[in-house]
Chains A and B, each alone.
Chain A
């Protein structure tokens, strides 16, 4: 069976889907990715779908599930490179892919993840300071 490779780049896992997303492939990817997040301890996942001609409701749901699973494992997911034709079709079908964050290309996706991480760490610092203020 064909498998989608998962590449580690710095603190990010990059998944570039180059083959048709059949049900079995999608489920396998979901498992592989979860394993890889735990093993590598990465905090960001980028899924590149620029080679996909068709995104149906099943692929959409799989992507949403991957995003949720990653979130549980403390990794943010960004779907990048959706083609215009795919976006138009999804809109016409009334599918809005809830729970999925998107960016135009891998570069912007990495930028988005970096911002998220920075924001998260700032929030942590704020929480650390708060008890000190309240005791005063």
Chain B
């Protein structure tokens, strides 16, 4: 039910006439749901600003929240849900904070002498408007949260895949955390690029920090090793913990002729023997 411009201006008048009462009662409602996580003064400031936003939108004659006339109010609501999302409030609490305006308004309508059919119609139209506003905060909240998660995932990807140089001609990749397809791809690309950049013919993939190895993870590691071989570098897998060794055997994963070592130290010793004493061996 869209708000007509007369209803809008009547409601705006009502807001104007009872500003302090609305702010007080609204703040009271929100304070009950936030349970002291926000100071009263802070809430008071937020509600009074929002109240002004509602008043301006209604005065301007916005038929619904998605109208251009309510753009300023939308920006305020987006700002509110963005801060709430970052402060760790739930989506529910954020939306209820807006719904509370209806209760504050209802008190006012009941209290007034003009509680007739006209006022009721105004109230219902206004209620629909507030519902839109609350749903809008809900949407914004979810979007902000999703952005947060995407950012964190990206940061994780950036942080967790270093390729370090261990020795002249030997690089190592200490894998930490679960290896999914996206990370495996990043690890593979970084490792291969580093091999080219440093001209290192040996790479050690250390899986001490990988909590579990299933067929998929093994597949990713094998692909990396094969790609490195195609380019002319040899890979050694190290840091295989006892349980992981048992899992690998139980799952029937074959590492073929790829060298596997229990510790990084063993792997480094193995590589140094290959590079250093090749001549003497022969």
B-side contacts of A103, CB under 8 Å? 201, 232
B193, B228, B282: the one within 8 Å of A122 (CB): B282
Closest to A84 in B: B192
Residue A62 is within 8 A (CB to CB) of chain B in the complex: no
Assess whether A105 is in contact with B189, with CB atoms less than 8 Å apart: no
Assess whether B196 is in contact with A84, with CB atoms less than 8 Å apart: yes
Assess whether B199 is in contact with A84, with CB atoms less than 8 Å apart: no
CB < 8 Å A-B pair total: 59
Contact string against B for A residues 85-101, beta-carbon threshold 8 Å, 1 for contact and 0 otherwise:
00110111000110001
Assess whether B201 is in contact with A88, with CB atoms less than 8 Å apart: no
A16 to chain B, nearest CB (A): 16
Contact string against A for B residues 200-213, beta-carbon threshold 8 Å, 1 for contact and 0 otherwise:
11000000000000
Interface size on A, residues (CB 8 A): 25
B-side contacts of A105, CB under 8 Å? 196, 199
Interface of B is mostly: helix
Assess whether A80 is in contact with B282, with CB atoms less than 8 Å apart: no
Assess whether B201 is in contact with A82, with CB atoms less than 8 Å apart: no
A-side contacts of B278, CB under 8 Å? 115
Distance, CA A80 to CA B195, complexed state (A): 13
Residue A119 is within 8 A (CB to CB) of chain B in the complex: yes
Residues of B within 8 A of A (CB): 188-189, 192-193, 195-196, 199-201, 223, 226-233, 278, 282
Residues of A within 8 A of B (CB): 78-80, 82-84, 87-88, 90-92, 96-97, 101-105, 107-109, 115, 118-119, 122
A-B contact pairs, 10 of them (CB 8 A): A84-B192, A87-B192, A87-B230, A87-B231, A92-B223, A97-B230, A102-B230, A104-B233, A109-B232, A115-B278
